[in-house]
Each structure stands twice: as structure tokens, then as C-alpha cells.
Amino acid sequence: MLELSTSSLLIVAVIAVVAVAALGVAMFLRQQVLAANRGSLAMQDIAQAVQEGASAYLRRQFRTLALFAVVVLALLLLLPGDAGVKVGRSIFFLVGALFSAAIGFLGMWLATRANLRVAAAASLPGGRAEGARIAFRTGGVVGMSVVGLGLVGAASVVLIYRGEAPAVLEGFGFGAALLAMFMRVGGGIFTKAADVGADLVGKVEQGIPEDDPRNAATIADNVGDNVGDCAGMAADLFESYAVTLVAALILGKAAFGEEGLVFPLIVTAIGAVVAVLGVVTTKVRGQESGLAAINRGFYIAALVGVVLAAVAAFVYLPSTFAAMPGGTAGLETHGGDPRLIASAAVAIGVVLAGVILWVTGYFTGTTSKPTKHVARTTLTGAATVVLSGIGVGFESAVYTAGIIAAAICGVFLLAGGSVPLALFLVALAGCGLLTTVGVIVAMDTFGPVSDNAQGIAEMSGDVTPEGAQILTDLDAVGNTTKAVTKGIAIATAVLAATALFGSYADAVRTALAEVGPDLGGDITAAMTSYDIISPVTLVGVILGGATVFLFSGLAIDAVTRAASAIVFEVRRQFREHPGIMTGETRPEYGRVVDICTRDSLRELATPGLLAAFAPIAVGFGLGVGPLAGFLAGSIGAGVLMAVFLANAGGAWDNAKKIVEDGHHGGKGSDAHAAAVIGDTVGDPFKDTAGPAINPLIKVMNLVALLIAPAVVQVSVGDDASTGLRLTIAVVAAGVAFSAIILSRLRAARVDAEGRLEHDAQLVSERRA
């Protein structure tokens, strides 16, 4: 086992102190946000309703997920391996899950209080700058918390388990990723069911403005922004941070030895310093666009991060690979300079984030040609809006995937053809990208806080016309920043998944070495082969891509069912309570919140079970070689699908903003109705299915990494058991398909209830 020197342990201890300091900065920024003006009593009442709905939903979600976590904990203890490592891995699985939940809850809690303050600031002198400052610093709190808790967890594992830390960190990353996926799916279903239902009945059918208090779905819509975009995205970026660190430490130990275990922690600790700089320097100057200020803060932070990482590499790493004999990748004869190579890998990751920021902004921004094109197609109806948005999404996916592929190729060239070194450098590039994670989280939270602020302003009516326009502008900026952060999160997911792919190969190689050279018959040998030309491995690739499509379809279908229930409920309230439209009767907001909560918690299980059990079915059913193909297929299909869904949805959303700003007929026109339809199609694309693919591919990679030794054990060697292997595969496939069948039955029941509701509505209208 690798032993860490006293100096390395001291560095890790300092990193832990930096992590605690990051949490201290988060508390300081939190106090700044809460000190801002809270606005009128009407604003406070609306914000209180949103706070209560969001808190109630997350509490119920966490109770549901706690049962799932206990089951997974028991399964982790059954996996083969050293008893001490298994216990540590299981404990830190819970720690990772708890940290992910805590980040999500913090993001929701503060956002539901900051939205009120942004709305109040908009009508004051300097409202644009102050509103942007509050919204961005709210995200800064969450960003610093992501950095702090991620580093605390990783540094604690290294200090306690030292050379065994990578194996234990698998549990930490798995806990963070699993909970983030559930929060992403559940929160996404909640927010988009409410959003779609509110738009279809309010805007399209009743012709009332967005966030009109007469619409019973408005409170649920604002609640959803917080449990989906704030809580879900915060948990998602935290698990990206944790999983990338896990992959970097596993591969770093193999490539660099002791230095490879510590250097990724140093790079991410630099990210804590960079995050503070990015948050502090992001200030709107005069009438400057909020997006310009945010981009400036991001690029400053990114540049400083690259410089500091290079300094750290030259201070900490030796000048030759021969001086790092602790690695097992056989790099002692490599002629490169580890300091230059590591610095360049970090720089590639940071540059990748900057390029994706620009590309995503180009395809989704309100001033860009693609989004303007989508807005123009509203003049010819909803069908052309949908088609143009799909075209933008497909095109942007190709460019983004190509950029990520180019970054990976650049890292491979840096490694001089050494695959183990290349995989570590991919993980290091991911760490470099995540040096900006504090600013990235701040950018993402900016969006829902601004969106909620506009909703509170419209529902209360206590904002001046100038203030309302400021909030509209901030909301449009928020749409772009949300799309940008989704693009960066996708890039992080691909880098992390690629690095985990290497970790999986290392785990399989170690397990095969323990059983010896005799693999048995030809079929067993094929099951352990990584040759892509092998038909059974190609089957794994196809199944991996298919799983991404099935997962996306399940998530979108879940939103469709939940949104249908909201549409019928809001229609019922308008039909049975005519006083709602005249302002004499208060809508039953709580009923819509309850429907969203119930349906989202009921629907999130199916995609989650698919993600957890599909790799188990493929691994035990077909072998470790096809499972590697499965992971490759899921990464390839996942990056394309995630970018397509996110950018198509972002373009539709901002095209609607362009029309609502008075172009192509403005609000109330046929073009506006078409834009609303495009936006409602894009809602589950960009805020449910698309973002959930990020944790999906990492969860499947981590499951594969965890089960790899067990798959080898029951496939080859003295403990091989075809009966046991196939039984596990059949049970896993049965669990996944049973969840899908139950989802289909639930869909049929919802359709039947919808028909009954529609028939009752027709009878009521005829009697009237």
C-alpha cells in the first residue's frame, strides 16, 4: 500500500483548512445577501409561500431517498474486498450523499430568500447593479459551499485512509452522484410540470401574463425553480466536483504515485481561492449587461486559476517521471517534464470551460443569430418554432462534442501516447475546469433567482415599470447563464466519465491479475475482452447508448404526465371558481404544489432504478468487456443528447423572451402563442432530461467501477459461477424493467383520469 510522506500529509491538512475557510467565505456572503432589503409585505407573503413549498418538497424527497440510501449501503457492504476499505467506502457513501443533499438544500433555502431581495432592489436607484449583485452572490454562497464540502470530504478521506483513499473515495463519489441524480430528476419533473401547466393554461388558454397571481400554478412554478434549478443543479455540480476528484486520485496514484494522489487536491484547493476572486470581481458597471459582468468575472477567475495551478505544479512536482517511482503505470522512462504536462492539462480544462461558455452563449443568447432565427420562426406557427429549435440543438451538440473531443485529444498528445498517463491528465483537465466551479455555480443560481424575482414582482405589483424591465433583462441573462452552466456541467461529466472509464479498466486489470492467466473457454475470454470489434462488446456499446435514450424518454414522459395533471387542475379551478379571473377569489395554490410534489416523487424512481441496475445487468450478464462498451456507448450518446436537449431548450426559452420584448408582434400575438409552445416543449428538455444525463453517466460508471471485481470473481477463476452470475443479471434486469412497466401502467392510468376529467369539463360547459 502506498504510504504518504509527512510533507504530503501536511499539504493535505492545509487543503482541509482551505476548505473550511471556503465555507467561512460562504457564510460571510450569505450574511451579505440576507442583509438586503426584503421589499413590501405583498412580496414577502409570496416569497413565504414559495419558501414553504420548496422546503416541504425537499423534506419529503429526502425521506424517500433515505430508504434508497440504506439499501445501497447494504449492497456496498456485500461487495468483495478488504473489510476496512468496504466499511470506509460505505461510510463515505453516506457522507457524499449527505453533502450532496446539504448543498441542494442550502441552494434552495437561500435562493427562496434572495429572490425577494432581488425583486425589491430592482426599483431602487442602481437597481440593475444591486439586483445582479444579490443574485450572483447568492450563487457564490452555494459555489463556495460546493468547493468547501468537496475538499473537506476528499481531504478527510486522504488523511484517514492515505494510500487506500482512492478505493474509499469511490463510495464518496457514488453517494454524491446517486443523490444528485435523484434530485435532478425529481426537481426537474416538479419544476417543469408546474411551468408547462402554468404556461399552457395561463398564457395560451386564458391569455393572462406569466406569473399572474390568478394562475393557480404560479407558486408551484416558482417553487420548482428552486427545487429543480437551485437544489438540483447545486447537487449536480457538487457531485461533478466529487466524482472528478475521485477519478483524478485513483488515476493519479497509478500514474504519479504519491504526487498524483495529492496534486489534484492542490489544483481544486486553488479553485477555492479563484472562486472568491470570481465572485468579488463580478459587478455590473452602470448600464452594462449582467452577462458581460458575469463573463468578465469568469474569465478573470479562469486566468488566475491557470497561473496558480502552473505555479503549484512547478513547486510541488519533480522535473522528471523517474523521480516519482511510486506509480504503477511504468512511466519512469517517460521523457517529458511532469510539471509542464500537468500545467498544460489543467490549462486545457480551463480553456475548455471558457470555449464552451462562449459556444453555449452563442447558441442560446438573446442577441445571437441562432436564437433570433428561432424567434423569427414564430411568425409561421408553433411547428416551425419546434423544428428550428430542434435544428439549433442538434447543430450545437456537434460543435460542443467536437470541442470536448479535441480537448481529450490534446491531453492524449500531452501524454505522448501513454494511455494511463492520458487518463490521469483527462481527470486533471477536469480538475482544472472545476477550478472555476465556484463561479459556475454562481452563474447557474443567478438564473432561477432572477426568474423568481420577476415572478414575485409581477404577482405583487409592487415594482416600478423601470424595475420590471430590469428584472426582465436579468431573467434573460439568467436563461443564458443556466444554459452555459449546463454546457460546462456536461463537459465536466464527460471528462469525469472518461477518467472513471480508466479507473474501471484499472479495477478490471487488478481483479484479473488476482485470478491468474487462465480465463477458461473462448466465451469467457470474449467476455473479458475490450476489443471493440468483438460483437458482444459492440452489443454493450449499443445498450449504453440505448440506456441514455430510454432514460431521457422516461424523464420527459414523467413531465408530460405530471404537467397534464396540472393543466386539468388549473382548468378546474378557473371553471369552478369564476371569481379567480376577476380577482375576487384566491386560487388554491397549495393543491397544485401538492400535485407536483406527489407526482415528481412517484416518478423519479423509474429513471433512478434504470441507472443503477442497467450496468449490473450488462456486467453480470455479458462480462466486463461488454460492460466497458456499455460505458463507452453511454458517454458518447450522453454528451450528444445532453447538449442537444439543453441548448434546444435554451434557444426556445430566449426566443420567447425576444417576442415578449415586443418583436414579431409581442405579447398576445399569434407569434407569442407559438413561442410559448416552443418554450413548453423545451422546458423538460433543458431542465429535466438534459441535466439529469450528467449524473446518469457518472452513476453508471461508478456502479461499473464498484462491481467490476465481483463480475470478474464470478466469471473466471476458482470462484466462477455461471448460475450465480446469470441470476444476478436477471434480477437486475428484472428490477429495471419492472420499474419501466410500472411507469407505463401509471401512464395508462393518468391517461384514463385525463379522459374522465376532459369529459366532465365538456358536460359542465354544455350545462352552462
- Residues 203-250 have pLDDT tens digits of 778 888 767 788 888 888 878 777 777 777 778 878 888 888 888 888
Amino acid at residue number 689: A
391 pLDDT exceeds 80?
yes
> pLDDT grade, residue 20 (50/70/90)?
very high
Cell numbers at 733, concatenated: 434486469
State pLDDT tens for residues 645-661: 989 998 998 898 899 88
Could you give the CA distance from residue 737 to residue 727 in angstroms, rounded to a whole number? 15
The pLDDT assigned to 549 comes to: 94
Could you give the CA distance from residue 196 to residue 649 in angstroms, rounded to a whole number? 13
Average pLDDT over residues 292-299: 80
Q: What is the mean pLDDT of the chain?
A: 83
> pLDDT grade, residue 616 (50/70/90)?
very high
128 pLDDT exceeds 80?
no
What are the phi and psi torsion angles at 396 (to 5°)? -65, -35
Contacts of 255 (CB under 8 A, 6+ apart): 327, 329, 331, 420, 421, 423, 424
CA atoms within 13 A on the CB side of 581: 15
Q: How far is CA 597 from the centre of its chain?
A: 20
The pLDDT assigned to 286 comes to: 65
Contacts of 253 (CB under 8 A, 6+ apart): 2, 163, 166, 260, 261, 326, 327, 328
State pLDDT tens for residues 729-759: 999 999 888 888 877 776 666 556 555 555 5
Could you give the CA distance from residue 700 to residue 693 in angstroms, rounded to a whole number? 11
Identify which of 183, 197, 222 has the alpha carbon closest to the alpha carbon of residue 60: 183
The pLDDT assigned to 739 comes to: 81
DSSP 76-107: HHHSSS-HHHHHHHHHHHHHHHHHHHHHHHHH
630 pLDDT exceeds 90?
yes
The pLDDT assigned to 390 comes to: 94
